A and B are shown apart, each in its own frame.
Chain A
Amino acid sequence: MQSYLPIAEVSVSILLLLGLGTTVGILSGMFGVGGGFILTPLLFMIGIPPGVAVGTQGNLIVASSFSGMLAHLRRKTVDFRMGLVLLAGGLVGSALGVRLFHLLTALGQVDLVIKLAYVLLLGIIGALMMVEALLALKRRNSKGGTRTKRKHHSWVHGWPIKVRFRTSKLYISAIPPFGIGVMVGILSAIMGVGGGFLMLPAMIYILGMPTKVVVGTSLFQITFMSAFTTVLHAIENQTVDMVLAFVLLIGGVIGAQIGTRIGEKIRADTLRILLAAMVLSISIKLAFELVLMPTELFSLAY
């Protein structure tokens, strides 16, 4: 059954979209990731214009992180002050990113920048995850390994404008979280991702936040930042497709339920290796597309 998407101005099979949504939902349920970084390249592949794919993603991310955020609010695992600093950075970054996206579209380099960003980020993150997961596996097999103690004061903590973050039990400069927020905001606007995969490690390793509040706080930031990004894309570029978002969302919710159940049955280490392998393979595939000579050298834009 075909459906004509009013903003993307293409006709796509509803079943294909539902299938995509479900697949990405399963992955996000299994691994606990947002899935934006998988869905965006997939949407390019089925012929959704890049602008619309990225603009519509924000809408989906809001929907999927909103219910997660509610659950964390109930459990009181959100550091509001930290969340607000990250969000302030995120809003600035998102506004910059939407502008940058507009500019890059006009220059005809938006596809290249999005792909390069994906190759670099997914490559680095996938490699790091793979190394850590393999090390963890080795440690468990050799039993009673050494657990590295996390540094409590890293170099960024001494910067000015110190703020007390009670829930995180931190007294650090507000500049690093703000900066992280800006980075994530730019990425979310030009790559159509929530940025959780970047923010979570940054919160743990750079800011030294306790793991307990990391997920809730990042979901809080992502929900509001993505909502802002979506509205900006709608105003500036008119690239948010309601119908596309709705169909993908339905598939995503169903998939997430299945994924969570599969995730419960597989061991955490295996799961991490699988996720790392998947992230790496997407990165390699995109890298090949950039390096190999394309069959059609020309492309059209309006």
Chain B
Amino acid sequence: MIRILLALFLLASPAHASEHASEKVIAGLSQNRVAITANFDGTGILIFGAVKREAPPPTTEPLDVIIAVSGPERPVVVRKKARVLGIWVNKESRTVSSAPSFYAIASTGPLPKILSKSEDLRYKITIPRMVAEKAAADGLSNIDEFASAVIRIRQHNGLYTEKGGKVNLADQTLFDTQIALPSALVEGDYKARVFLLRDGRVIDDFSKTIAVRKVGLERWIYNLAHERPLIYGLLSLTIAILAGWLASTIFRLLKLS
């Protein structure tokens, strides 16, 4: 009897342990290239996917999905104003060595409820974790104040967003969300990450790169300005002089006739 129970237990336990691991996330993006053209006005990226599993889903713990898209990380100089002789002047400054230029999170529910602190630490998912981690590594005094200013200003400008409940999850299997990329995009490789969670723990994740690039005329102008600045400067002068001269000549002719 005991032997049978033990055998059953041994049979059951690995199955129980691998229950989480047996759920895999498969995801796709509506576009993995974003072209910044002359009339670029922001774009939306549809991120969708499914949970692949061998066994039927356990009914006890709820399944959650977090989707995060982050822009290229760059150092940011944060300055704080103080009153000097009656006027407000930039006084203190700190450098946060790296913060994403853009960060958007969407999830099936409120983040504090579906994501445990330790998992956030490990995967760096929430916005404060993403910036504070970098700031702490810089080891400067009262850096928190400056790091939270980065978050506040970028949230205000719509560069950092957090939307709980924006991911649709159907039958614990199919999910999708729309992430809006604003018009003021910085060029670079953006990273889309998808996390599958049960009971606050990440059971699988998936990531994919989105290449954001200037194309066409924008690309050409940008390259010229940085690689051949002298030619670029002279060219822009020539264009401006010609356009100004042409326009005033046209108006003079119109006035004469």
Does the CB pair B237–A59 fall under 8 Å?
A: yes
| Whole-angstrom CA separation of A4 from B239 in the bound complex | 19
A66 at the interface (CB under 8 A from B): yes
A266 at the interface (CB under 8 A from B): no
Interface flags, A197-240, vs B, CB<8A=1, else 0: 00000000000000000000000000000010011111100101
Nearest B residue to A227 by beta-carbon distance? B237
Q: Point out the residues of chain A lying under 8 angstroms from B93, CB to CB.
A: 108
Contact of A299 among B79, B154, B226 (CB under 8 A): B79
Interface flags, A65-94, vs B, CB<8A=1, else 0: 011001000000000000000000000000
B38 at the interface (CB under 8 A from A): yes
Does the CB pair A234–B87 fall under 8 Å?
A: no
Does the CB pair B240–A60 fall under 8 Å?
A: yes
| Least distance between B179 CB and chain A CB atoms (Å) | 18
Nearest A residue to B234 by beta-carbon distance? A231
Q: Point out the residues of chain B lying under 8 angstroms from A245, CB to CB.
A: 236, 239-240
Nearest B residue to A287 by beta-carbon distance? B87
Interface flags, A243-256, vs B, CB<8A=1, else 0: 10110011001100
Q: Point out the residues of chain B lying under 8 angstroms from A257, CB to CB.
A: 251
Does the CB pair A246–B239 fall under 8 Å?
A: yes
Interface flags, A278-302, vs B, CB<8A=1, else 0: 0000000000001111101111111
Q: Point out the residues of chain A lying under 8 angstroms from B149, CB to CB.
A: 297-298, 300
A103 at the interface (CB under 8 A from B): no
Contact of B247 among A3, A4, A250 (CB under 8 A): A250
A6 at the interface (CB under 8 A from B): yes
Q: Point out the residues of chain A lying under 8 angstroms from B153, CB to CB.
A: 296, 298-300
Does the CB pair A11–B41 fall under 8 Å?
A: yes
A242 at the interface (CB under 8 A from B): yes
B173 at the interface (CB under 8 A from A): no
Does the CB pair B245–A66 fall under 8 Å?
A: yes
Does the CB pair A294–B36 fall under 8 Å?
A: no
| Whole-angstrom CA separation of A291 from B90 in the bound complex | 13
A1 at the interface (CB under 8 A from B): yes
Q: Point out the residues of chain A lying under 8 angstroms from B40, CB to CB.
A: 2, 4, 11
Does the CB pair A243–B221 fall under 8 Å?
A: yes
Q: Point out the residues of chain B lying under 8 angstroms from A271, CB to CB.
A: none
Assess A4 versus B77: contact at CB under 8 Å? Given A230-B233, A234-B225, A242-B221. Answer: no
Does the CB pair B230–A66 fall under 8 Å?
A: no
Contact of A240 among B75, B79, B233 (CB under 8 A): B233
Does the CB pair A4–B240 fall under 8 Å?
A: no
Does the CB pair A293–B78 fall under 8 Å?
A: no
Does the CB pair A63–B241 fall under 8 Å?
A: yes
Q: Which of B41, B183, B233 has its CB near the most chain A CB atoms (within 10 A)?
A: B233
Q: Point out the residues of chain A lying under 8 angstroms from B247, CB to CB.
A: 249-250, 253-254
A16 at the interface (CB under 8 A from B): no
Does the CB pair A238–B39 fall under 8 Å?
A: no
Interface flags, B142-153, vs A, CB<8A=1, else 0: 000010011011
Does the CB pair A238–B81 fall under 8 Å?
A: no
List residues of B (159-199) whose CB comes within 8 Å of A's CBs. Answer: 183-184, 186-187
Contact of B78 among A10, A250, A300 (CB under 8 A): A300
Does the CB pair B248–A7 fall under 8 Å?
A: no
| Least distance between B130 CB and chain A CB atoms (Å) | 15
Q: Point out the residues of chain B lying under 8 angstroms from A231, CB to CB.
A: 230, 233-234, 237
| Whole-angstrom CA separation of A235 from B78 in the bound complex | 27
Nearest B residue to A297 by beta-carbon distance? B81
A62 at the interface (CB under 8 A from B): yes
Interface flags, A110-125, vs B, CB<8A=1, else 0: 0110001000000000
List residues of B (222-238) whose CB comes within 8 Å of A's CBs. Answer: 222, 225-226, 229-230, 232-237
Q: Told that A242-B232, A242-B235 touch, could you supply 12 new A-B pairs with CB distance under 8 A? A: A1-B39, A2-B39, A7-B222, A9-B186, A108-B90, A233-B233, A234-B229, A234-B230, A249-B243, A253-B244, A294-B81, A300-B76
28 example contacts (A-B, Cβ-Cβ < 8 A) are as follows: A2-B39, A2-B41, A3-B39, A4-B41, A6-B217, A6-B225, A59-B237, A62-B237, A62-B241, A63-B240, A67-B245, A67-B248, A116-B87, A231-B230, A231-B233, A234-B236, A240-B232, A242-B232, A243-B38, A292-B88, A294-B88, A297-B149, A298-B146, A299-B90, A300-B78, A300-B149, A301-B76, A301-B79
